C-alpha cells in the first residue's frame, strides 16, 4: 500500500479548516491559546481518553457530545486544564456553546478540550470576547496556528498528514498533537486531533482508533505521569467519496495502516520533544512470546528513569535495560536476552544471553551521543514484537516542572 506524506496537517483532508489565536488565557504571554478545527459536513467521530480516575471536565462533556458517534468541530484551549474545579463541566459546556454559536452549530456538535495548569478555574471572558475572531480566521491553511494554540511546554508544533487510496479514491488523514510532559501509557498524556475525508462508519472509526492507540500512544512515555486531560479524537467527513467502510476487510486494513503511519509519526514527535529532552529514544522488542510480553517489556525499558538518565549521559549501561525487563512483569527468560544500541552513528551489541560482553566503550558513546537512539532488545522466546517511544531524563526536566505554575 502506498502511503505518502502531504502538507496541511488537519486541513489536508477535504472539508476541514482550522485556526488558532491568542485570546488572553495565558496571562502575560503572546502565545496562541485557543484553537478551532471545523468540518464543512457532518462527521463520524471517535475518541479515546485518559484512564486516570481524575479527569478534566472537557472529557465528560465530549463523551456526552459524541455519544451518537458524530461531531462537526473541535474547540480547545491551552494554559488552563479546567480540571478539579467547581463547575468545570458547566464551563466546558459553555465553551462549546460559544464556539458552536460562532460556527452556526449546536453545542453538542462540538468536541471540547483543555490543557494546562490543573486546579485553576478557566475564565471564559477571553474566549467569549475572541471566539468570533477565531471562527472568522478559519482557513484551509490554519493547521499550524491551531497546533500552536494547543501547545503548553512543547518547544515545537507537531503536525502531519498522509494520502492513500481506498477503492481507487484518494483519501487523506491529518493530525496535530501537543505533548511534552506528563506523558505515560494509558494513555500517553497529550491532546491529539485527527481528521480524515475517508468515509467510515462511527463504530468502525472507534474500532480503528482504539486499536491503533494501543500500538502507538499507549506505547509512549516521557516521565511516568499519566495526566488528567488526555484525548485523541478523530473526525471523518466522507468527502473523499470512497465506499463507506462498515466492516473489516481490505479497505479497513488500508485505513488502519494510514492511521498508524500518522500516529507513529506523532508519537515520535512527542517523545522527541519531551520536557528537557535531548534524545528521542525508541525501544524495539523482538522475539517475545506474545504481543503482551513484547509491549510490557518495551514500555518498561522506555519508562525506566535509570535507563533514561543513562541515555542522557550517553552511558552504555545495559544493566539498567535488563533491570527494567526483569521487573516489567513480562514473561521472558533473562538468559536469552540480547541488547543492542543503535543510531545513525552505528550499532553495537552490549549484552548477549543475559550477560555482558566485551565492547568498545568509545564506539558505544559515539552511538549513544546522537539525537535519536534505538534500544534493541531480542528476547529469543517467540515471534512477537512491539515498539515504544520515549526520551532521555535531563536536568532541564526538573527545572521545567519545578517552575511550571510560575
Q: What is the largest CA-CA distance in the chain?
A: 68
Angle at 147 between CA 141 and CA 152, to 5 degrees: 160
Contact between residue 22 and residue 33 where contact means Cβ atoms under 8 Å apart: yes
How far is Cα 83 from Cα 397, in angstroms, rounded to an integer?
A: 23
Of the candidates 83, 115, 152, 189, the residue annotated as catalytic is 189
Q: What are phi and psi of 358, to 5 degrees?
A: -70, 135
Q: Please tell me whether residue 262 adopts helix, strand or coil conformation.
A: helix
Q: Are strands 191-196 and 355-356 parallel, antiparallel or unpaired?
A: unpaired
Q: Please tell me whether residue 14 adopts helix, strand or coil conformation.
A: coil
Q: Are strands 34-49 and 16-21 parallel, antiparallel or unpaired?
A: antiparallel
Buried (b) or exposed (e) across 293-331, using 16+ Cβ within 10 A? bbbbbbbbbbbbeebbebbbebebbbebbbbbbeebebe
Cβ–Cβ contacts within 10 Å for residue 346, how many?
Answer: 12
Q: How far is the CA of 136 from the CAs of 11, 38, 113, in angstroms?
A: 16, 11, 20
Long-range contacts of 357-362 (CB under 8 A, 24+ apart): 359/316, 361/316
Instruction: Give the residue carrying C-alpha cell 492511521.
Output: 259
Q: Please tell me whether residue 75 adopts helix, strand or coil conformation.
A: strand
Task: State yes or no: is 189 an active-site residue.
Answer: yes
Q: Which three cell numbers stand for residue 338?
A: 540480547
DSSP symbol at 245: B
Q: How many residues does the chain have?
A: 406
Q: Please tell me whether residue 225 adopts helix, strand or coil conformation.
A: coil
Contact between residue 162 and residue 267 where contact means Cβ atoms under 8 Å apart: no
Question: Which residues have a catalytic role annotated?
Answer: 189
Amino acid at each position: 500500500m502506498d502511503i505518502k506524506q502531504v502538507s496541511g496537517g488537519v486541513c489536508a483532508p477535504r472539508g476541514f479548516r482550522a485556526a488558532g489565536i491568542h485570546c488572553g488565557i495565558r496571562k502575560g504571554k503572546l502565545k496562541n491559546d485557543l484553537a478551532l478545527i471545523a468540518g464543512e459536513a457532518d462527521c463520524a467521530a471517535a475518541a479515546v481518553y485518559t484512564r486516570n480516575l481524575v479527569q478534566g471536565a472537557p472529557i465528560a462533556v465530549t463523551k456526552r457530545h459524541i455519544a451518537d458517534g458524530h461531531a462537526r468541530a473541535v474547540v480547545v484551549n491551552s494554559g488552563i486544564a479546567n480540571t478539579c474545579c467547581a463547575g468545570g463541566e458547566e464551563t466546558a459546556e459553555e465553551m462549546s456553546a460559544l464556539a458552536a454559536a460562532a460556527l452556526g452549530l449546536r453545542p453538542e456538535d462540538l468536541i471540547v478540550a483543555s490543557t494546562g495548569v490543573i486546579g485553576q478555574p478557566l475564565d471564559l471572558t477571553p474566549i467569549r470576547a475572541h471566539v468570533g475572531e477565531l471562527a472568522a480566521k478559519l482557513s484551509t491553511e490554519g493547521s499550524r496556528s491551531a497546533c500552536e494554540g494547543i501547545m503548553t511546554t512543547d518547544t515545537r508544533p507537531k503536525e502531519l498528514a498522509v494520502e492513500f487510496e481506498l477503492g481507487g479514491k484518494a483519501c487523506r488523514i491529518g493530525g496535530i498533537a501537543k505533548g511534552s510532559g506528563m506523558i505515560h501509557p494509558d494513555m500517553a498524556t497529550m491532546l491529539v486531533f485527527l481528521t480524515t475525508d475517508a468515509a467510515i462508519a462511527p463504530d468502525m472509526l472507534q474500532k480503528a482508533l482504539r486499536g491503533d492507540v494501543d500500538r502507538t500512544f499507549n506505547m509512549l512515555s516521557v516521565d511516568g505521569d499519566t495526566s488528567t486531560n488526555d484525548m485523541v479524537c478523530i473526525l471523518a467527513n466522507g468527502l473523499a467519496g470512497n465506499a463507506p467502510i462498515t466492516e473489516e476487510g481490505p479497505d479497513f486494513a488500508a485505513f488502519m495502516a494510514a492511521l498508524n503511519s500518522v500516529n507513529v509519526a506523532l508519537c515520535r514527535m512527542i517523545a522527541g520533544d519531551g520536557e528537557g529532552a535531548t534524545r528521542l529514544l525508541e525501544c524495539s522488542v523482538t522475539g517475545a512470546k506474545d504481543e503482551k510480553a513484547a509491549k510490557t517489556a518495551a514500555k518498561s525499558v522506555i519508562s525506566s528513569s535509570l535507563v533514561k538518565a543513562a541515555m542522557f549521559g550517553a552511558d552504555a549501561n545495559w544493566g539498567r535495560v535488563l533491570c527494567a525487563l526483569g521487573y516489567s512483569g513480562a514473561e521472558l527468560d533473562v538468559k536469552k536476552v540480547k541488547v543492542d544500541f543503535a543510531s545513525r552513528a552505528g550499532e553495537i551489541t552490549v549484552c548477549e544471553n543475559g550477560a555482558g560482553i566485551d565492547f568498545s566503550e568509545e564506539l558505544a558513546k559515539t552511538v549513544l551521543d546522537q539525537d535519536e537512539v534505538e534500544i534493541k532488545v531480542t528476547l529469543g522466546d517467540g515471534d512477537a514484537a512491539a515498539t515504544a517511544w520515549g526520551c532521555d531524563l535531563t536536568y532541564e526536566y526538573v527545572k521545567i516542572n519545578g517552575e511550571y505554575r510560575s
